[in-house]
Amino acid sequence: MTLFANSPVKSFVVARVASGLVSIFFISFLVFLGTSMLPGDAANALLGQNATPETVLALRTELGLDQPLPVRYFHWLGNALHGDFGTSLSNAQPVINLLVPRLINSLILAFSAAAIVLPLAVGIGLLAAINRGKALDTATGSISAIFLSMPSFLIGYLLVFIFAVKLGLFPPLSMVRSSASLPTWISALTLPVLTLVLVAQAHVMKLTRAAVLGVMSSDYILMAETKGIPRNRIILKHALPNALSPIVSICMITMAYLIVDVVVIEAVFNYPGMGKLMVDAVAYRDIPMVLACGVLFSTIFISLNFTADLLAMLVNPRQRLPRKGN
Amino acid sequence: MFTISRRSLLKISAASGLMAALPGGGAWAAAPKRGGHLVVASGGASTADSLDPRTFGSPYTAVMSGITYNSLIEVHGLDMELRPGLAKSWEPSNGGKTWIFDLVEGATFHNGKAFTSEDVVFSLKRHAEEASRSNMRSIIKGVADIRADGPNRVIIDLPEANYMFPAMLTAFSLGIVPAGTTTFDGVGTGPYKLKRFSPGEVLEAERNENYFKSDAAFVDSLEFLAINDASALGSAFQSGQIHLTTLLDARTAPLMRQMPNLKIYNTEGRGFICFNMRTDMAPFDNPDMRMALKLAVNRPDMLERVSVGVGRIANDTPVAPSDPVFAAELPQTEYDPKRAKELFDKTGFKGPLVLQTSEAISSRAVDMAVIFQEHAAKAGIPIEVKREPSDGYWETIVGQTPFHVSARSDRPTADAIFSVAFLGTSGNNECKWVNKDFDTAVIAARAEPDLEKRKAFYATAQKICREDGGTIIPFFSSTVEGTTSDLDGFVPSALQMAGYRAIEQVWFA
């Protein structure tokens, strides 16, 4: 493989990793600043209705919230660079211990959904492009539009109502234990995964179709057509490779969506993922937890974006050539 | 003989003696069976929950306390009768200023350590510490002294006589931990030993074979799920994935009642959602304005529309009809748009009253504000409902702004809720309402050993609160709870989950 030896690819990787790290650093600062600017702090939030000025003051001192903002931020940053993300302000447990099991759960859910939705939606998109204007194209287009326009929680509740409450095929709650057997896992994950598949498929499918059809209107396709090459072959051999860049991009963005943006689905199925952890952390002004979640989420987003751009570059030879003026 | 609840202490100890004499609960019901794996669920959970009883405050942590911990005294049934917990008996001396608690003997903690009076002193005193954020902090801090008298007796001195003090010790946050505990990992004296706790997700536990109560802890093991989404909780319960649950949605309860595999109960709760009027701020510093608004609520209509009639109409005092000191003779404030308008016009106030509300209290808080606006409009009182974001509502709105929605959870006695939320001297008096006659009546009631005489003081307090107070309490909330039909032994109480101890009481038929 000489692919990675190409200087544009190498410099691209170096530049993007560096800019990614800088972005994560800035994001952590913005998250810290944003959380600190919200009304009230962890002391207020934890005390709730029991708050009196003296209890708030006592708790604030105990939690170290009486120190100036920059001191707290750099103290956190120093520890974080050594891999210590601190302890949660709300229940005094190490942030990492709370975060990791839920991250794993979120990743399991996201990857299961991605493994189904990406090939399926790209495949359907291709079929729709091949059969443009025919019944199949119209049908897939309308069905995906229906799911696209329904709120995700409604899809979730409908699936629970039909498959769990009425038919009793799957559990309505997706409470999974590490000790559970594989069939239990699959049964518990079916409904949330299906919900995510229905929610996420529309974008991937529509973009695949649009990208392929976009390429189909170019001159070299017309050339291929006039040479009498069958349409299926034109699409798969000539159009698809050139349409891959946007498809890979949307797949990666969908992955990021599946990992990060599933708070609502988690609530519907009571799935112990990252979403609830982050929402609770913000509600309780648990800054170490919010920071850890923020850094983790931004790392996931940045690395998936980076992967998308890198893959787009690798699948498209033109982008690998040195650019003029660079 | 003084009285604590509706029943005398004598009767209680006789009843508990009877229970002990009849193994397995007696002949009137099927004998409890041991065994099985119980799945329990509740909302009100958070990933911020911890195992330190001092931090307990939510419905989820309340039930947690009944799994791993015990308080000195427990609450039983709809009239909130006091029953022995880790204290087998208690009595006043020194005219109600000193309370003596005799502890059960032979109880042990999950780590094998024997339970003694030192553990009680340690566990209670922790609540008054500087760093404590306990909901019992002000109560324990107000105590003059807590001391051990031998290994099985604890003496508590109060600054002034209070014959309702023992009821305070039923609080679920007052669970007893081994003396000197610094890391809280669920070691208590409770019926179940903790196996795993994942905050905001699940608690798993197995039976404590050395539990000090012989007629409790029937199921072998349990899982306590945290399910905050009411729809998810409802569908899981209907599908049989959960055996025992609290905080079901009142609006779907009628449907569940028709299902043969479920049993549904209503608790006669004492908690409420209220409209707070800051009596130190215009225009609510005018008693006419407060009365006008109290007359402008159609309580039965509000209760029907907000929670399909599940609850009890209230009379702007926090004392529920199930409370022994409830003043039944007080006239109920009824919806009277005509008189409300007269009083409102008399105040000369123009322009809308801004009522702040939020989902932070509950979704019902928002509905209640909107319905109130509609009722008041018919009386010519313009209310403008302002919906605030959940985030920060408790800190920036409740107790701060002139007119807003707030809520109070169940308290064991009239004294407890009056002391915390209505006394002029309380830091947690959200309406900043100060009425000398009211304060005098509440304080005098504490020192009165005779229930009938105490009732007279509380009648005065309730009358003043109803007429002059800054809090509009339209109704008391009830909690809807349920079990699957194969689960036996569940006794509904005025508090959730049989006074938070349902888990040790139920068994599989």
In the structure, what pLDDT confidence band is assigned to residue A261 with cuts at 50, 70 and 90? Answer: low
How confident is the model at residue B2, as a pLDDT?
41
A30-44, B266-280, B355-369: least confidently modelled range: A30-44
Give the C-alpha separation, B383 to B369, whole Å.
Answer: 9
For A54, name the nearest residue in chain B, comparing CA atoms only. Answer: B130
Q: What is the mean predicted confidence (pLDDT) over A151-170?
A: 89
Nearest to B383 by CA among B289, B453, B489, B508: B289
Q: How confident is the prediction for chain B on average, in pLDDT?
A: 89
- Count of other CB atoms within 10 angstroms of residue B474: 27
Query: Testing the interface with A: which of B61, B241, B395 to mutate, by most A Cβ within 10 A?
Result: B395
In the structure, what pLDDT confidence band is assigned to residue B15 with cuts at 50, 70 and 90? Answer: very low
Q: What are the beta bridge partners of residue B155?
A: B100, B147
In the structure, what pLDDT confidence band is assigned to residue B296 with cuts at 50, 70 and 90? Answer: very high
For CATH 1.10.3720.10, list the domain ranges present in chain A: 98-282
First-to-last alpha carbon distance for chain A, in angstroms, is 24
Q: Is residue B151 pLDDT above 90, yes or no? A: yes
The CA-atom distances, in angstroms, between B119 and each of A116, A126, B114 are 56, 71, 9
Q: What is the mean predicted confidence (pLDDT) over B92-99?
A: 94
How confident is the model at residue A320, as a pLDDT?
66
Count of alpha carbons within 13 Å of B359, Cβ hemisphere only?
4
Contact B391 A283 (CB under 8 A): yes
Query: Testing the interface with B: which of A50, A177, A268 to mutate, by most B Cβ within 10 A?
Result: A50
Q: Is residue A82 pLDDT above 80, yes or no? A: yes
Give the C-alpha separation, B82 to B466, whole Å.
Answer: 28
Q: Is residue B396 pLDDT above 50, yes or no? A: yes
Q: Is residue A65 pLDDT above 90, yes or no? A: no
Q: Is residue A25 pLDDT above 70, yes or no? A: yes
Query: For residues B325 and A35, which has the higher predicted lDDT (pLDDT)?
Result: B325
For A271, name the nearest residue in chain B, comparing CA atoms only. Answer: B201
How much is the ipTM here?
0.73
Give the C-alpha separation, B333 to B242, whole Å.
Answer: 41
* CB-based burial label for B329 (10 Å; 0-12, 13-18, 19+): exposed
Strand B475-477 and strand B311-313: the pairing is antiparallel
The CA-atom distances, in angstroms, between B105 and each of B67, B73, B150, B181, B212 are 20, 15, 12, 21, 8
- Count of other CB atoms within 10 angstroms of residue A17: 13
- DSSP characters over B45-57: --TT--S-GGG--
d(CA B234, nearest CA chain A) in Å: 10
Q: Is residue B274 pLDDT above 90, yes or no? A: yes
Q: Is residue B13 pLDDT above 60, yes or no? A: no
Buried b / exposed e over B425-463, threshold 16 CB at 10 Å, is ebebbbbbbebeebbebbbbbbbbeebeebbbbbbbbbb
How confident is the model at residue A246, as a pLDDT?
83
Nearest to B240 by CA among B252, B256, B229: B256
How confident is the model at residue B422, as a pLDDT?
94
Give the C-alpha separation, B336 to B296, whole Å.
Answer: 6
Interface of B with A in 57-76 (CB under 8 A): 57
In the structure, what pLDDT confidence band is assigned to residue B18 with cuts at 50, 70 and 90? Answer: very low
pLDDT tens-digit map of B175-222? 999 999 999 999 999 999 999 998 888 999 999 999 999 999 999 999
Encoded tokens for A81 = 């660079």
Q: How confident is the prediction for chain A on average, in pLDDT?
A: 84
How confident is the model at residue B129, as a pLDDT?
87
Give the C-alpha separation, B481 to A104, whole Å.
Answer: 33
Query: For residues B109 and A261, which has the higher predicted lDDT (pLDDT)?
Result: B109
Residue type, A303: S
> What sign has the CA pseudo-torsion A165, A168, A169, A175?
positive
How confident is the model at residue A280, as a pLDDT?
82
- Three-point CA angle B492, B359, B314, nearest 5°: 50
Q: Is residue B22 pLDDT above 50, yes or no? A: no
* CB-based burial label for A163 (10 Å; 0-12, 13-18, 19+): middle
Query: For residues B223 and A249, which has the higher predicted lDDT (pLDDT)?
Result: B223
pLDDT tens-digit map of B399-437? 899 999 999 888 888 998 998 899 998 878 999 999 999
> Which positions in chain A touch B54 (Cβ < 8 Å)?
none
Q: What is the mean predicted confidence (pLDDT) over B319-339?
A: 93
> Which positions in chain A touch B47 (Cβ < 8 Å)?
90-91, 98, 276-277, 280-281
Query: Testing the interface with A: which of B133, B183, B398, B417 to mutate, by most A Cβ within 10 A?
Result: B133
In the structure, what pLDDT confidence band is assigned to residue B7 with cuts at 50, 70 and 90? Answer: very low
The CA-atom distances, in angstroms, between B175 and each of A68, A93, B70, B73 are 36, 21, 5, 10
d(CA B139, nearest CA chain A) in Å: 12
Contact A172 B57 (CB under 8 A): no
Q: What are the beta bridge partners of residue B83?
A: B74
Q: Which ranges in B379-489 belong to alpha helices (H)?
A: 393-396, 414-421, 436-446, 451-468
pLDDT tens-digit map of B428-442? 899 999 999 999 999
Q: Are B51 and B201 in contact (CB under 8 A)?
A: no
Q: What is the mean predicted confidence (pLDDT) over A201-227?
A: 87
- Count of other CB atoms within 10 angstroms of residue A180: 13
Contact A175 B225 (CB under 8 A): yes
How confident is the model at residue B12, as a pLDDT?
40
| pTM of the entire predicted model | 0.82
Q: What is the mean predicted confidence (pLDDT) over B256-262?
A: 91
Q: Is B414 helix (H, G, I), strand (E, B) or coil?
A: helix
How confident is the model at residue B116, as a pLDDT?
96
Q: What are the beta bridge partners of residue B475?
A: B313
Q: What is the mean predicted confidence (pLDDT) over A221-249?
A: 84
Nearest by CB to residue A55, choosing from B133, B395, B398, is B133
A121-135, B313-327, B438-452: least confidently modelled range: A121-135
Strand B87-93 and strand B98-103: the pairing is antiparallel
Q: What is the mean predicted confidence (pLDDT) over A221-250?
A: 84
> Tokens 């001092």 — which residue?
B54
Q: What is the mean predicted confidence (pLDDT) over B486-497?
A: 90
How confident is the model at residue B25, as a pLDDT?
39
> Which positions in chain B touch A165 (Cβ < 8 Å)?
235, 238-239
How confident is the model at residue A116, as a pLDDT?
93
In the structure, what pLDDT confidence band is assigned to residue A326 with cuts at 50, 70 and 90? Answer: very low
A2-6, A7-11, B122-126, B176-180: least confidently modelled range: A2-6
A21-35, A259-273, B87-101, B459-473: least confidently modelled range: A259-273
Q: Is B83 helix (H, G, I), strand (E, B) or coil?
A: strand
Query: Testing the interface with A: which of B39, B42, B47 to mutate, by most A Cβ within 10 A?
Result: B47
Q: What is the mean predicted confidence (pLDDT) over A173-198?
A: 83
Q: Is residue B391 pLDDT above 80, yes or no? A: no
d(CA A196, nearest CA chain B) in Å: 17
Q: Is A289 helix (H, G, I), strand (E, B) or coil?
A: helix
d(CA B279, nearest CA chain A) in Å: 19
For A97, name the nearest residue in chain B, comparing CA atoms only. Answer: B198
Encoded tokens for A238 = 């000539």
Q: Is residue B10 pLDDT above 70, yes or no? A: no
Interface of B with A in 342-401 (CB under 8 A): 390-392, 394-396, 398
Q: Is residue B16 pLDDT above 70, yes or no? A: no
Q: Are B135 and B172 in contact (CB under 8 A)?
A: no
Query: For residues B153 and B271, which has the higher predicted lDDT (pLDDT)?
Result: B153
The CA-atom distances, in angstroms, between B403 and each of A20, B278, B336, B382, B418 are 49, 6, 21, 13, 20
Contact B47 A44 (CB under 8 A): no
Encoded tokens for B152 = 């099985």
Query: For residues B5 and A98, which has the higher predicted lDDT (pLDDT)?
Result: A98
Q: Is residue B243 pLDDT above 80, yes or no? A: yes
Nearest by CB to residue B133, choosing from A47, A165, A168, is A47
Encoded tokens for A72 = 């707290």
First-to-last alpha carbon distance for chain B, in angstroms, is 41
> Which positions in chain B touch A44 (Cβ < 8 Å)?
394-395
d(CA B213, nearest CA chain A) in Å: 31
Determine the topology of domain A98-282 in CATH: MetI-like fold (1.10.3720)
How confident is the model at residue A44, as a pLDDT?
76
> Which positions in chain A touch B231 (Cβ < 8 Å)?
157, 160, 268
In the structure, what pLDDT confidence band is assigned to residue B1 with cuts at 50, 70 and 90? Answer: very low
Q: Is residue A64 pLDDT above 90, yes or no? A: no
Query: For residues A40 and A261, which has the higher predicted lDDT (pLDDT)?
Result: A40
How confident is the model at residue B266, as a pLDDT?
87
The phi and psi torsions of B393 (rounded to 5 degrees) equal -60, -45
> Which positions in chain B touch A175 (Cβ < 8 Å)?
201-202, 225
How confident is the model at residue A55, as a pLDDT?
73
d(CA B56, nearest CA chain A) in Å: 11
Give the C-alpha separation, A155 to B313, whole Å.
Answer: 38
Q: Is residue A107 pLDDT above 90, yes or no? A: no
In the structure, what pLDDT confidence band is assigned to residue A49 with cuts at 50, 70 and 90? Answer: low
Q: Is residue A58 pLDDT above 90, yes or no? A: no
Strand B37-42 and strand B221-226: the pairing is parallel
In the structure, what pLDDT confidence band is assigned to residue B24 with cuts at 50, 70 and 90? Answer: very low
> Tokens 């030896």 — which residue?
A5
Count interface pairs A-B at CB distance under 8 A. Answer: 126
